[in-house]
Amino acid sequence: MSYIIPFIILITIVVFIHEYGHYYFAKRYGVGVTDFSIGFGKEIFGFNDKSGTRWKFCIIPLGGYVKFFGDRNVFSQSEQEEILKKYSKEDQTKLFTLKPLYQRALIVAGGPIANFILAIIIFSFIYMFVGKDFTPPKIEEVQIGSPAEKAGLEKNDIIISINKNEVNSIMEVSTLINSSPNKMIEVGVLRNQKEMIFTTYPKTIDSKDSFGNSIKKRVIGIKITPVNNEFKREKLGPTKAMYYSIKEIWFVSKTTIKFVGALIIGQGDTSQLGGPVKIAKISGQVAEFGLIAFLSTVAYISISLGLINLFPIPLLDGGHLMFFLFEKILGRPLKQKTQEGFFRIGLFLLISLMVFTTFNDIKDWAAF
């Protein structure tokens, strides 16, 4: 239960915000919404609002959906006449498929947009009321024979960048090294008030994360400490907090895209992929560290959900946006059979990913 309850809370928050993004733009543009569901399967409880939308919680808490009035998975030009005959003039104004292209695109993109906004709000809250770490990292020790020594890094070098990413905190050094899909890493340092760049090739070792989970970790063989042995945490104003929040979202998104690219070309570490069990395990472990750690995890999961949904895979939001792009270019929607073919491909890809992440989850289960 120590894992299940935090997991359900985390998933409920992230999924609700995602689906509310779709719901908000749908209502804004007059699209009828018949169902707003958190979870799948049999309904546990729910209620109807004044507009007739059924708000409900279902038994399988692994996602959610917003169902539009007259919802159809595919739509072709030839179907439009049938739709016009089937519905009254009043009902036609509530149909998603008859809305202008830009409105449909915003309704679909509303979910990921809401996820990014949630992350901005959480990070901004943390940076304003708890503070953001700005402790400069200094190299305290360079291991003999390590990649860092071979590259020319020395004791007392102050790390200012990694792969052209500015290092603002001692906490970012390991993150930037491990999130890079490149074999080579450029480390920028300040030595005797002079900026220098060194090229190093990290080695991968078996290690443990903060919670004791087994991970593959990239290291260059250095020990770092705060400059002047002082940690610097600063509470930010609203504007600066929002700036660093957006910067964090951009970093996570960029890193995720690079990781996916590395997986596609066979260079990524597939053992890091996980599904519901892994998320449940992490959310439970993080919850033990307190509210701030848990909120940070919610923000990162929200970014991941928003970004992944923008991938151009049919059945995901990005797949629908891809169809809308084709519609804009061609001047008409793709034919129904063509869209159905894409949906089958998307379904195959998603099922394959689910099977793979479930396999990783089963391996993770042994660590419970």
274 has pLDDT over 80: no
Please provide the average confidence, as pLDDT, over all residues in the chain.
Answer: 82
100 Cβ neighbours under 8 A, 6+ residues apart = none
Distance (Å, rounded) from C-alpha 356 to C-alpha 143? 38
Instruction: Identify which of 227, 161, 225 has the alpha carbon closest to the alpha carbon of residue 196.
Output: 161
> Quick one: which of 10, 4, 32 has its CA closest to 115?
10
> What are the two backbone dihedrals, phi and then psi, of residue 258, each rounded to the nearest 5 degrees?
-65, -40
* 28-32, 221-225, 264-268, 319-323: segment of lowest average pLDDT: 264-268
pLDDT digits (tens, 9 = 90+) for 281-331: 555 556 566 788 889 889 988 998 899 899 888 888 998 899 899 888 988
Residue 357 confidence (pLDDT) above 60 = no
Return the pLDDT at 16.
Answer: 95
**Residue-range domains of the chain with CATH:** 4-129+297-365 (no CATH), 132-234 (2.30.42.10)
Catalytic option among 19, 90, 186, 248: 19
Mean pLDDT for 268-291 is: 58
Contact 143, 203 (CB under 8 A): no
Query: What is the predicted pLDDT for the residue at 118?
Result: 97
Band (73; pLDDT cuts 50, 70, 90): very low
**How far apart, in whole angstroms, are the C-alpha atoms of residue 42 and residue 59?**
6
- Tell which wins on pLDDT, 234 or 270: 234
pLDDT over 60 (residue 271): no
Confidence of residue 1 (pLDDT cuts 50, 70, 90): low
Determine the pLDDT at residue 366: 42
pTM assigned to the model: 0.84
Within a 10 A sphere around the Cβ of 20, how many other Cβ atoms? 17
Instruction: Check pLDDT > 60 for residue 280.
Output: no
Any catalytic annotation for residue 19? yes
The band of 251, judged by pLDDT with boundaries at 50, 70 and 90, is confident
Looking at per-residue pLDDT, the higher value among 264 and 103 belongs to 103
The most confident of 217-226, 270-279, 285-294, by mean pLDDT = 217-226
Stretch 72-83: mean pLDDT: 55
For 33-66, how does the pLDDT look when each residue is reduced to its tens digit (9 = 90+)? 999 999 999 999 999 999 899 999 999 888 899 9
Indicate the SS3 state at residue 227: helix
Residue with tokens 């970004």: 307
